[in-house]
Chains A and B, each alone.
Chain A
Amino acid sequence: MGSRASTLLREEEIEEIKKETGFSHSQITRLYSRFTSLDKGENGTLSREDFQRIPELAINPLGDRIINAFFPEGEDQVNFRGFMRTLAHFRPIEDNEKNKNATTSEPLNSRTNKLLFAFRLYDLDRDDKISRDELLQVLRMMVGVNISDEQLGSIADRTIQEADTNGDNSISFNEFIKVLEKVDVEQKMSIRFLH
């Protein structure tokens, strides 16, 4: 660990991350060791290749999009802060947080932010709308090649139809939220980060 002295985590950083993301001290150190184990180049940041080295991620249909979600706009490297910020979306919502008053800024793992994360997986061009093309792209990734384009098209049409309330043939974020109101997103989009 001697050569990594420069990239060791300082207490102030841990405190800042704790405030921003809500993770506990031990969780942050755990995730930091995971970060460093992924960081084969040992330069304190992760590149896309580092993520692609994870074998299960390579076979995940949405692997590339998930990897992209870690990197901020137009950048190729993500540091530990960015890493934690992304992972913070998947922290389970605890009971004491539900009672926070509305004036403080929303925590990263709120329901809205979780849904926004999922929304952004579809919406690559960040125009806040899921167009039919974007939907078809994702569907094709998830479904494989055994379905013809026409069938897939009709599934996409049906999906848009169910969500679209303003008739613009695309799904906006609010429409997305509405469609998923019956789904227990808080539970589905949470990982138990053990202490």
Chain B
Amino acid sequence: MAALWTLSLLLSAYPGCLGLTPPAELPQPHNQPPLLGFNSSSGGLSMDLPVALRVFSMDYHHVQAPFEIVLWIMLASLAKLGFHWSGRVPAVVPESCLLIMVGLLVGGVIYGVRHSAPPTLSANSFFLFLLPPIVLDAGYFLPGRLFFENLGTILWYAVLGTLWNVLGIGLSLYGVCLLAQSSLGDVSLLHCLLFGSLIAAVDPVAVLSVFQEMHVNDQLHILVFGESLLNDAVTVVLYKLFESFLRLPSVSGVDVLLGGCRVVMVGLGGLCVGLFFGLVAALTSRFTSRAQVIAPLFVFLYSYLSYLTSEMLHLSGIMAIVTCAVTMKQYVEANVSERSNTSIQYFLKMWSSVSETLIFIFLGVSTIQDVHMWSWPFVCSTLLLCLVWRATGVLLLTAVVNKFRRNAVTFRDQFIIAYGGLRGAICFSLVFLIDDFPKKRLFITTTIVVILFTVFVQGMTIKPLVELLDVKRKKRALPTVSEEIHSRLIDHLLAGIEDVVGYWGQHYWKDKFEQFNKKYLRRFLIHEDHQARSSILRVYQELERREQRGDEEAPPIVDPHSNSRPLLPEEMDSIRRILSRNLQNFNNKQTPAYSRHTLHQDATKDKIRRPLYRHQSLGERYTYDTITHWSQREDREFDGSHRARAGLSRSHTVCSMSSRPILQDCMVPAASAQAQQVDRKTSSTREDRISPQHQIPMGRAPKKHLSFFLENEK
């Protein structure tokens, strides 16, 4: 690990020495154009040969730009590698902090070598190149159902919460400036409001990176994350609004009203742009069956186009790209092959990872600058006000919104929302874009301090604090086994009743959308082959359900006599452990959120397990877990059928060969019934069946072998 660090430092020093993007000077050319018999004094590398050709020469200037970019990316990736190899450190320090520290180190080294400021993160490159991959990744893996269920709350926090924060921080800072007239007298109200608008914004990049390691439940994750995504619209509009107000000679009430309209337009406009590009992308993916290799490219191109288009029209680029990803995801996944799907997902993860790492490193590097201006009252009050206003905002808003929610946002959740409001690179870039005025450097310094504070202090302490809160609650007596079981029964019962009743309003619209989707969109946007398969899946899912019901009517084989001896404490513990691990989670609210670093599939899916239709000849029970496991992970049977459908298509094209060896493995421990099964399969005609699959017993899991047939609908 130490080697990695030194290597990365050396690599970083190299581009630093050679100079980079502004404010660097032009690099010294390292070789001279070949001149006969002429030796330059600074060249040093040209040979002193009259007419001869150069055996060895170096032309750095030729490759400078891409070379340096690659070196920076290499530095970022090596730092990330080193981070994950460094043992105990990741448990304590979140990755973002470490990356900023690496950036600080690198910046310091460059400063020391060149005695001038290292390159800074230019706002342009941030907004155009570094931010889109992260947001695209987040949008593509957004848990759709959860997001739309909580949309009201998320919008509530995003719009009202941001407004509250902006106005609160801006006005209070103005108050502070008035109080400290001597040093801060020339900061006007509009400047304070402008600063408030950029510092109040919660940053999705920072939030994501810290929440990665926190394993909060899905619902909380989507609340914080959704808020950080959607408040972009509000933030950008307010920022631009105040900026344009600064340029106007005077501000009237009409201007403020127009500003309000602008918020709505920016948000909705971004949404529409995203929708448009998403649908076009879905349509394009329909025709990619003959050129499957470039199918992933369309996903990226269209998403990026939507982002650039909305940026061009001064709409919210983040909303556009998220909408585009959400829209095209279901159709693209149905249209492209399984391999393309995997490529898309992996590329998204890779790019967003690299982007995020680069952002944090550059944040660190850019901190080392000459342009700092410090002012104790301003900086400290900003820090304090950010925390205070966010906390009060969250408390107030939650108190109101809990009245309308089925699952109340608990105090622990509120604390995490308030404390987890991290600022990041968006604020940083926005502050650089301000028009120059005397106190701009103060703003820059303050922004950097706030970002570093939130990322380091809040990022590092949020996990222990949350655990402290949890521990405090756990100090109550452990529930008895009866209580646990009966409570879980009641939870399932309530979930079922809620499904019967439907989610008010939301379900109605969801129903309508699903009908519209089925009738028009799916027919238009999904390739015919894939559409047909979905009806097969529907048939066998129906059959699965009937099988399940059939099973429940059969009496379980249970020991009639019961032991009445008291249970030992170890047994009690093991019972508790078994219950907590196996009592099925309901309504997806307790499952952990998705991870930045691994695809959800890798973490949870057994590659062999598929929802299976039990063949009549085998008298065995299917794994119930598979069904629920399947459906829990994604949005509904709709998406589950996609995943399954893709799995089936893979089996159709790829695994028809590989299922043979799997069969062989299974045959050894399997019952004789299955040997008969295999024989029957080999003798039957191929056209009628999609290749059968066996479930391999995994480790200590009970040996339940299953096979399934799927017959093509004629």
List residues of A whose CB falls within 8 A of some B CB. 30-31, 34, 37-38, 51-52, 54-64, 66, 70, 87, 90, 117-118, 121-122, 132-133, 136-151, 153-163, 169, 176, 179-180, 182-183, 185, 188-189, 191-194
* Residues B471-493 near A (CB distance < 8 A): 480-483, 485-493
Is the beta-carbon distance between B491 and A188 smaller than 8 angstroms? yes
Is the beta-carbon distance between B624 and A159 smaller than 8 angstroms? no
Is the beta-carbon distance between A118 and B625 smaller than 8 angstroms? no
* Residues B388-436 near A (CB distance < 8 A): 404, 406
- Min C-beta distance of A135 to chain B, whole Å: 8
Greatest chain A CB density within 10 A among B558, B621, B702 is at B558
The answer for the CA separation of A155 and B579 in the assembled complex, in Å, is 9
Is B567 among interface residues, defined by CB-CB distance under 8 A?
A: yes
Is B631 among interface residues, defined by CB-CB distance under 8 A?
A: yes
Is the beta-carbon distance between B558 and A149 smaller than 8 angstroms? yes
Known contacts being A133-B558, A138-B489, is A179 close to B499, with CB within 8 Å? no
Q: Which residues of B sit under 8 angstroms from A163, Cβ to Cβ?
A: 482
Is the beta-carbon distance between B636 and A56 smaller than 8 angstroms? yes
Is the beta-carbon distance between B480 and A191 smaller than 8 angstroms? no
Q: Which residues of A sit under 8 angstroms from B181, Cβ to Cβ?
A: none
Known contacts being A60-B496, A140-B556, A155-B578, is A146 close to B625, with CB within 8 Å? yes
Identify the closest chain B residue to A54 (Cβ). Answer: B499
Give the number of residue pairs across the A-B interface with Cβ within 8 Å.
173
Identify the closest chain A residue to B622 (Cβ). Answer: A145
Known contacts being A60-B496, A153-B562, A154-B567, is A31 close to B579, with CB within 8 Å? no
Contact among A38, A55, A191 for B636, CB-based, below 8 A = A55
The answer for the CA separation of A119 and B545 in the assembled complex, in Å, is 25
Is B188 among interface residues, defined by CB-CB distance under 8 A?
A: no
23 CB < 8 A contacts A-B = A34-B502, A55-B637, A57-B496, A59-B628, A66-B496, A66-B497, A90-B497, A118-B490, A118-B493, A133-B556, A140-B556, A141-B552, A143-B579, A144-B624, A150-B559, A151-B575, A153-B559, A154-B575, A157-B562, A158-B572, A182-B483, A188-B491, A189-B494
Contact among B487, B494, B498 for A183, CB-based, below 8 A = B487
Is B501 among interface residues, defined by CB-CB distance under 8 A?
A: yes
Known contacts being A55-B637, A144-B584, is A149 close to B487, with CB within 8 Å? no
The answer for the CA separation of A148 and B631 in the assembled complex, in Å, is 24
Contact among A31, A60, A141, A182 for B495, CB-based, below 8 A = A60
The answer for the CA separation of A47 and B404 in the assembled complex, in Å, is 32
Is B623 among interface residues, defined by CB-CB distance under 8 A?
A: yes
Is the beta-carbon distance between B575 and A191 smaller than 8 angstroms? no
- Min C-beta distance of B698 to chain A, whole Å: 11
Known contacts A66-B493, A142-B489, A159-B485; 7 further A-B pairs (Cβ under 8 A): A34-B502, A51-B500, A63-B496, A118-B489, A133-B555, A146-B701, A157-B563
Identify the closest chain B residue to A137 (Cβ). Answer: B556
Q: Which residues of B sit under 8 angstroms from A136, Cβ to Cβ?
A: 556, 558
- If over half of B's interface residues share one DSSP class (helix, strand or loop), that class is named, otherwise mixed; here it is helix
- If over half of A's interface residues share one DSSP class (helix, strand or loop), that class is named, otherwise mixed; here it is helix
- Min C-beta distance of B401 to chain A, whole Å: 13
Mark each residue of chain B from 534 to 572: 1 if its CB lies under 8 Å from any CB of chain A, else 0.
Answer: 000000000001001100100111110011101100011
Q: Which residues of B sit under 8 angstroms from A139, Cβ to Cβ?
A: 485
Is the beta-carbon distance between B489 and A121 smaller than 8 angstroms? yes
- Min C-beta distance of B76 to chain A, whole Å: 42
Q: Which residues of B sit under 8 angstroms from A70, Cβ to Cβ?
A: 500
Known contacts being A55-B637, A66-B493, A179-B486, is A37 close to B628, with CB within 8 Å? no
Is the beta-carbon distance between A155 and B575 smaller than 8 angstroms? yes
Contact among B494, B555, B702 for A146, CB-based, below 8 A = B702
- Min C-beta distance of B26 to chain A, whole Å: 64
Is the beta-carbon distance between A147 and B500 smaller than 8 angstroms? no
Is the beta-carbon distance between A162 and B482 smaller than 8 angstroms? yes
Is the beta-carbon distance between A142 and B492 smaller than 8 angstroms? yes
Mark each residue of chain B from 511 to 551: 1 if its CB lies under 8 Å from any CB of chain A, else 0.
Answer: 10000000000000000000000000000000001001100
Identify the closest chain B residue to A185 (Cβ). Answer: B490
- Min C-beta distance of A167 to chain B, whole Å: 9
Is B627 among interface residues, defined by CB-CB distance under 8 A?
A: yes
- Min C-beta distance of A137 to chain B, whole Å: 6
Q: Which residues of B sit under 8 angstroms from A30, Cβ to Cβ?
A: 504
The answer for the CA separation of A10 and B502 in the assembled complex, in Å, is 23
Is the beta-carbon distance between A153 and B558 smaller than 8 angstroms? yes
Identify the closest chain A residue to B576 (Cβ). Answer: A155
Identify the closest chain B residue to A140 (Cβ). Answer: B556
Is B582 among interface residues, defined by CB-CB distance under 8 A?
A: yes
Identify the closest chain B residue to A153 (Cβ). Answer: B559
The answer for the CA separation of A51 and B492 in the assembled complex, in Å, is 16
